[in-house]
Amino acid sequence: MNPRPDSPARSARRVAFDVVHAVSTDDAYANLLLPGRLREARLSAADAGFATELTYGTLRGRGFYDAVIERATGRAVDRIDSPVLDVLRLGAHQLLTLGTPPHAAVDESVRLVRQVGSARAAGFVNAALRRVSERDLDSWRAELSRGISDPDALLAIRHAHPEWVVRALRAALAAEGREDELDALLAADNAPPRVTLVALPGLADAPDDDRDERTAFSPLGIRAAAGDPAADAGVAAGTRRVQDEGSQLAALALSRVRPARAGERWLDLCAGPGGKAALLAAEARTAGATLTANEAVPARAELVRRALAPVDPSLTVRVGDGRGIARDAAESFDRVLVDAPCTGLGALRRRPEARWRKTVDDVAPLATLQTELLTAALDATAPGGVVAYVTCSPHLAETRDVVDAVLGARDDAVAIDTRAVLASVTRTPLDLGDRGTAVQLWPHRHASDAMFIQLFERRR
- Let me know if residue 183 belongs to a domain: no
Sign of CA dihedral 399, 405, 408, 414: negative
- Domain tally, the chain: 2
Q: Are residues 134 and 259 in the same domain?
A: no
Distance CA 80, CA 68 (A): 14
Three-state secondary-structure class, residue 95: helix
Q: Are residues 110 and 254 in the same domain?
A: no
Distance CA 389, CA 186 (A): 25
Q: Are residues 311 and 435 in the same domain?
A: yes
Q: What pLDDT shows up at residue 118?
A: 85
Give the pLDDT of the chain (460 residues) as one tens digit per residue: 344 445 666 799 999 999 999 999 999 999 989 999 999 999 998 999 999 999 999 999 999 999 999 999 999 999 999 999 999 999 999 999 999 999 999 999 999 999 998 889 999 999 999 999 999 999 999 999 999 999 999 999 999 999 999 999 999 999 999 999 999 999 999 998 999 999 999 999 999 999 999 999 999 999 998 888 888 899 999 999 999 999 999 999 999 999 999 999 999 999 999 999 999 999 999 999 999 999 999 999 999 999 999 999 999 999 999 999 988 888 899 999 999 999 999 999 999 999 999 999 999 999 999 999 999 999 999 999 999 999 999 999 999 999 999 999 999 999 999 999 999 999 999 999 877 999 999 999 999 999 999 999 999 8
Q: Final residue of a domain: which of 110, 138, 166?
A: 138
Q: What pLDDT shows up at residue 331?
A: 86
Q: What pLDDT shows up at residue 3?
A: 42
Distance CA 51, CA 57 (A): 10
CATH number, domain containing residue 41: 1.10.940.10
Q: Are residues 121 and 259 in the same domain?
A: no
Among 189, 191, 190, 222, smallest CA distance to 205 is for 222
Q: Which residues contact 13 (CB under 8 A, 6 or more apart)?
A: 51, 54, 90, 108, 112
Which of 12, 157, 348, 392 is catalytic? The answer is 392
Do the beta carbons of residue 277 and residue 307 sit within 8 Å? yes
Q: What pLDDT shows up at residue 9?
A: 62
Q: What pLDDT shows up at residue 7?
A: 61
If you compute the radius of gyration of the chain from its CA atoms, what whole number of angstroms results? 23
Q: How far is CA 139 from CA 112, 134, 135, 163, in A?
A: 27, 9, 6, 20
CA dihedral 343→347→350→351, nearest 10 degrees, is: 10
Burial label, 323 (beta-carbon count in 10 A; 0-12, 13-18, 19+): middle
Q: What's 160's DSSP letter? A: T
- Let me know if residue 232 belongs to a domain: no
Tell me the pTM: 0.94
Strand order in the sheet with 196-199: 221-223, 196-199, 240-242
270 labelled catalytic? no
- Let me know if residue 343 belongs to a domain: yes
Q: What pLDDT shows up at residue 337?
A: 98
- Let me know if residue 162 belongs to a domain: no
The residue segments making up the domain with residue 21 are: 8-138
Distance CA 11, CA 203 (A): 38
- Let me know if residue 63 belongs to a domain: yes
Q: Final residue of a domain: which of 75, 110, 138?
A: 138
- Let me know if residue 154 belongs to a domain: no
Q: Are residues 276 and 396 in the same domain?
A: yes
Q: Are residues 248 and 134 in the same domain?
A: no
Q: What pLDDT shows up at residue 4?
A: 45
Q: What's 389's DSSP letter? A: E
Q: Final residue of a domain: which of 94, 111, 138?
A: 138
Q: Which residues contact 284 (CB under 8 A, 6 or more apart)?
A: 255, 260, 264, 266, 290, 291
- Let me know if residue 225 belongs to a domain: no
- Let me know if residue 342 belongs to a domain: yes
CATH number, domain containing residue 329: 3.40.50.150
